[in-house]
Structure 1
Amino acid sequence: MGRFRIGYRTLKTAVGTAISVYIAQLLQLDYYISAGVITILCITTTKRGSLTVSIERLVSCVIGLGVASVFFELIGYNPVAVAMLFLISIPLSVAANAARGIVTSSVIVLHLYTEGQVSAGIWMNELAIIFIGIGVALIMNLYMPSSEKSLAQDQLSLEDAFRKIWEEYANYLRFGDNIWDGGEFSEAAKIIDEAKGKALRDIDNHFLRDDDYFYHYFRMREKQFSVLESILPFISSIDQSVPQGHKMADYMDELSDAVSPGNTAGYFLYRLDEMKLEIQQMELPKTRHEFEIRSSLFYILYEIEEYLLIKKMFKPDPKRTHTISGKRLNRQKARRNK
């Protein structure tokens, strides 16, 4: 059984629905309870989402009222008119990119069917219900808790996982098999997947700015993560007695220490070119085993280059980079003190 809890969206929905019904009832509107239903349907997880769905519901309701007025007056208030109404109003709503408003529109137009007539007073009543329901939902959705602190924490956790992976790669190249269970791979994959969704919701909670730093950051790390995964089988194929393997291990230790939001790719690409040149100047392989090791070394260097180029293309936010780097230093100090 799941844990019972009341989230901020549930709270906003409950309060907003009560306010809508209260206002509509205070104004003595017929079908005042429908204002609360519209509020429930218009409160979403983001500000932009709420505004978009509210506009769709408004457009669909106006289309539905217009079509219903025509068909009910021409055909009469009977099931045939209801069928004709939906056959026309639903495609019109879809054509107007207001498909999500069809359910709300259906509730509103059936009020006309219940009344058995069309008049200016009934139109005003229905429009008032619509505007109250939508208006209260938009006001309630003005407050959205910021995800920035949570995303910054995800960033730190992901960088810790990347750092551990590089450390373990280096350890394998030096010492061979170890007891590492590779748990950081599943941890990193989970963080990336959840953080990207969280970052997209955060973007949709800003009307006046497109703050997409975190989304692009986690997309960048997702691409780098694919590189880390592709390297794994080639790391395990290298004999730890190979001198170049030890040098590569030292290089990976440096990469581990440099995992951060800042961009140090230029320095590591330069160092990578030095390693490539050194391997190219080695004697040609004499056995199949030496050839396979040489191939694995070159493949790993190629993948590391891809890893670094992905980071080089990323544009860090100086303000956030400074903040995250400070938190990272505090974490490193804490680990050293343990």
Structure 2
Amino acid sequence: MREQRLLFSSVNLIKVLKVTIGAFLAILIANLLGISYSTSAGVITILSIQNTKRETLLLVGKRIGAFFIALIIAFLSFHLFGYQVLAIGCFLLLFSSFCYLCSLQDGLVMNTVLMFHFYAEQSMSFFWIKNEMLLLFIGTFIGIIMNTYMPGNVGAIREKQKNLESSIREILYQMAQMITMENDICYTDVRFDKLDQELQKMEIWAYEERDNALISDNQYFIKYVQMRESQSFILKKLYKNINLLHSVPKQAKFVSSYIEEISKTFHEHNNAKRLKENLDTMIEKMKEEPLPVTRGEFENRAILYRILYDLEEFLQIKIQFIMKLTEEEIERFWE
């Protein structure tokens, strides 16, 4: 938690510096070039600095596209109604509608401010169109430059991985105890809430890490989180099935030992193949057991099979994850 706070503070400080320096440079450059409304370049820079490089580039692309649409709408509005308030109303109606219909809301406010400069100057001459284009390009260019440096959070993600795997190991161990009822453990959904929170946080960081890697398409941590989310869903099913047991059949001890084995060997680099082989062997041995006699024994045996098949699905998710990894990902993240 302390490391997370330090990382958060570091990122915030870096963003503050980017915003401050970027806005200053944009205004300075605009002033040196003799561009009117130079402070708008600083505002555009501030609005262009996002949490990730990919976000910044996507946002800049949307705003530049929206700018040229705004130019056309502003030209038509001022041509029809003159430089009057009615023209402003017409422009806002058409441009805001276009932005919301085309998911370009991020370009609405900034481009509206630029178009209002035409109203203030009572002109849409080439000089003023060039002025607004320069404001836009200076502001966005400086914003992109400022966001070229983005601190990586692989270390924080790795730490989150350790916590996540530790939580899953603990859940598996508790389930192993529940089956044999050796300990009277109060096992509630609070543990799953903690796991869900860890998965959610790691997913956010995984996407940020990917969006800051523009040259390489870093999908590994995203695929990892999705794999653990799928396993978390199976764990919840497993927990419900364990709670259905009315008593402790003799086969339950073997299942308990097996779940404990999964808990002890649970790790990112475990390919789960040996565990899968052991599970297949256990299922075959259970099929050779004498048939249940009473109704209760039959129901418990059926529940045990459901538990085993849940475990099989749990392992299969990991096996499929590994099969889909590229050689580059294995070399980069596993070796």
The TM-score range, normalised by the shorter chain, is 0.7 to 0.9
Match of 2:331 in 1: 319
RMSD (CA atoms): 2.3
For 1:288 and 1:177, locate their aligned partners in 2 and report how far apart those are by CA, in whole Å: 26
Pairing partner for 1:79 from 85, 89, 95: 85
Change (3 A) 1:119 1:268: same
Amino acid at match of 1:75: F
Match of 2:128 in 1: 122
- Alignment deviations for residues 184-206 of structure 1 (CA, whole Å, 9 cap, x no partner): 43332111111111111111112
Question: Is the Cα contact below 8 Å between 2:249 and 2:297 reproduced in 1?
Answer: no
Q: TM-score, normalised to structure 2's length? A: 0.88
Name the CA distance, whole Å, in 2 between partners of 1:89 and 1:26.
Answer: 32
Give the SS at the match of 1:314.
helix
216-225 or 172-181, larger mean C-alpha shift: 172-181
Question: Alignment partner for residue 209 of structure 1, among 216, 231, 256?
Answer: 216
Q: Which residue of 1 aligns with 2:116?
A: 110
Counterpart of 1:166 in structure 2 is 172
Residue 301 of structure 1: CA displacement?
Answer: 0.4
Q: Deviation of residue 263 (structure 1)?
A: 4.3
Q: Which residue among 137, 157, 160 is the counterpart of 1:151? A: 157
Residue 174 to residue 71, structure 1, CA distance change in 2 (3 Å): closer
Contact 2:172 2:259 in 1 (8 A): yes
Mapped contact 1:12–1:140 kept (Cα < 8 A): yes
Aligned-residue offset at 1:113: 0.3
1:33-62 alpha-carbon deviations (Å, 9 max, x no partner): 111111121111111110111111112122
Inter-partner Cα distance in structure 2 for 1:83 and 1:70: 12
The percent of aligned pairs where both chains have the same amino acid is: 31
Q: 1:320 to 1:256 in 2, by over 3 A?
A: farther
Cα distance between partner residues in 2 of 1:116 and 1:17: 27
Match of 1:261 in 2: 268
Give the structure 2 partner of residue 29 of structure 1: 35
* Aligned partners of 2:249 and 2:301 also within 8 Å: no
Please tell me whether the aligned partners of residues 263 and 312 of structure 1 are also in contact (alpha carbons under 8 angstroms).
no
Query: Which residue of structure 2 lines up, in the alignment, with residue 327 of structure 1?
Result: none
1:84 is displaced (CA, Å) by 2.2
**Mapped partners of 2:104, 2:195: distance in 1:** 38
- Counterpart in the other structure of 1:302: 309
Deviation at 1:82, TM superposition (A): 1.6
2:225 to 218, 224, 238: 218
Query: Are the counterparts in 2 of residues 47 and 207 from structure 1 also a CA contact under 8 Å?
Result: yes
> 2:19 — aligned with what?
13
Contact 2:178 2:185 in 1 (8 A): no
Opposite residue 165 of structure 2, the aligned amino acid is E
Equivalent-residue separation in structure 2 for 1:273 and 1:149 (angstroms):
37
Matched to 2:241, the amino acid is F
User: SS of the residue aligned with 1:313?
Assistant: helix
CA shift in 2, pair 1:122/1:51, >3 Å: same
Aligned to 1:176: 182
Q: After alignment, is 274-283 or 83-92 more displaced?
A: 83-92
**Which residue number corresponds to residue 233 of structure 1?**
240
Distance in 2 separating the partners of 1:56 and 1:237: 54
Relative distance call for 1:175 and 1:69 in structure 2 (3 A) is closer
Question: Quick one: distance in 2 between partners of 1:284 and 1:267?
Answer: 28
1:286 to 279, 290, 293: 293
Judged with a 3 Å threshold, the aligned counterparts in structure 2 of structure 1 residues 36 and 321 are, in CA distance, closer, same or farther, namely: closer
Matched residue type, 2:231: Q
Which runs of no fewer than 5 residues in structure 2 stay unpaired?
none
Structure 1 residues 44, 321: closer, same or farther in 2, change over 3 A?
Answer: closer
**TM-score (norm. length: structure 1):** 0.87
For residues 321 and 9 of structure 1, the distance between their equivalents in structure 2, rounded to whole angstroms, comes to 28
Deviations 1:125-184 (A, max 9, x none): 111111111111111111111121111111111111111122222223344333465564
1: CA distance between counterparts of 2:78 and 2:288?
A: 87
Structure 2 contact 246–296 (Cα < 8 Å) conserved: no
